[in-house]
Amino acid sequence: MPKDFGDLSDGLHPAVPGTLYVRGTNGGIRVAPDAGFDVVFGRCEPDVHVCVAPDDPYVSRQQGSISRQDGRWVLHNLGHLPIRLPGGQLVLTQHHVALPVAYTPLFIVAPEREHLLEVRIVMRPAAPVVQSRQEADTREPAGYPLTPTERLVLVCLGQRYLRPEPWPQPLSWDQVFRELRRIRPEERWTAKRAAHIVTGTRLRLSAHVPGLREEEIPPPLGNALNHNLITTLLATATISPSDLRLLDEPGPPP
């Protein structure tokens, strides 16, 4: 699978349910669920199927593997560094965890930075609808629907997660306001307006996702609500690294 093979978070060509896609620094691999094949990833390209962090000596030559077990794809950490899943869960050395049938960005947590390994497992398609594709209603991809304005503000808020940066945290409301004013100077942005938009999105999703309401989080609250919101959006492919283009190009009016 070449390096420029589409965007794993935005959907793929039809494939057998359970098909595994893994992409690292220089490309990736696709594996059918019945192939009996373990995907090994790590720093040393000749010794792995998917190369990640080739220039970081902290990453193991064979950092981990993904294998098919009991009908599920399971991530095994073979290296010394932890691997972080969306939501903050760490898979420590010699530990393993079953991966969800979805798009999952994995981050190898090195001392100087985190390294992205993209994984997608194809889900079973919905029952076909007897209707022309040209006449069918437009459907949202995997994730939660966002308005263009919500997407812009959330990408501003969570841009450190999307790059990704080491130990990312949400931007402050003042930083978000300054970014929005830079991108769309003709609009009347304030820090309060940005916070109001994000709060509305968070409360709407809280009906489906735990950890998005103040009463669910033990004090001190800090950035926990916005952190939980951003990691939820990443885990469900509602936002993805491709959305960073919104920070560099003018978008349509809300």
Print pLDDT tens along the chain (254 aa): 665 566 676 656 667 899 999 999 888 999 999 999 999 999 998 899 999 999 999 999 999 999 999 999 999 999 999 999 987 888 998 999 999 998 999 999 988 889 999 999 998 654 454 454 455 454 444 578 999 999 999 999 999 988 867 778 999 999 999 999 999 999 989 999 999 999 999 999 998 888 899 999 888 888 999 999 998 888 777 888 889 999 985 444 44
Residue 35 is predicted with a pLDDT of: 92
Burial of 86 (0-12, 13-18, 19+ CB in 10 A): buried
Q: How far is CA 114 from CA 18, 83, 84, 157, 251, in A?
A: 27, 9, 9, 19, 29
Q: Is residue 229 part of a domain?
A: yes
- Please give the angle made by the CA atoms of 126, 129 and 133, to the nearest 5 degrees: 105
CATH number of the domain encompassing residue 40: 2.60.200.20
Residue 130 is predicted with a pLDDT of: 47
195 neighbors 207 (Cβ within 8 angstroms): no
Structural domain range at position 185: 148-247
Q: How far is CA 216 from CA 139, 200, 221, 228, in A?
A: 32, 17, 10, 11
Residue 170 is predicted with a pLDDT of: 94
Q: What is the pTM of this model?
A: 0.52
67 neighbors 45 (Cβ within 8 angstroms): no
Q: Are residues 153 and 228 in the same domain?
A: yes
Query: How many structural domains is the chain composed of?
Result: 2
Q: Are residues 69 and 161 in the same domain?
A: no
Q: Is residue 137 part of a domain?
A: no
Q: Are residues 105 and 41 in the same domain?
A: yes
Residue 242 is predicted with a pLDDT of: 86
Residue 64 is predicted with a pLDDT of: 96
Q: Are residues 107 and 160 in the same domain?
A: no
Q: Are residues 154 and 94 in the same domain?
A: no
Q: Are residues 180 and 114 in the same domain?
A: no
Q: Are residues 155 and 69 in the same domain?
A: no
Q: Is residue 127 part of a domain?
A: no
Q: Is residue 138 part of a domain?
A: no
Q: Are residues 167 and 102 in the same domain?
A: no
Q: Is residue 254 part of a domain?
A: no
Q: Is residue 114 part of a domain?
A: yes
Q: Is residue 136 part of a domain?
A: no
Could you tell me which residues come within 8 angstroms of residue 164 by beta carbon, excluding any fewer than 6 positions away?
A: 105, 107, 114, 116
Q: Are residues 117 and 155 in the same domain?
A: no
Partners of 106 in the beta sheet?
117
Q: Is residue 166 part of a domain?
A: yes
Q: Are residues 113 and 152 in the same domain?
A: no
Q: Are residues 66 and 157 in the same domain?
A: no
Could you tell me which residues come within 8 angstroms of residue 246 by beta carbon, excluding any fewer than 6 positions away?
A: 151, 152, 155, 183
From 105, 121, 137, the end of a domain falls on 121
Kind of pairing between the strands at 90-91 and 114-121: unpaired
Q: Are residues 25 and 117 in the same domain?
A: yes
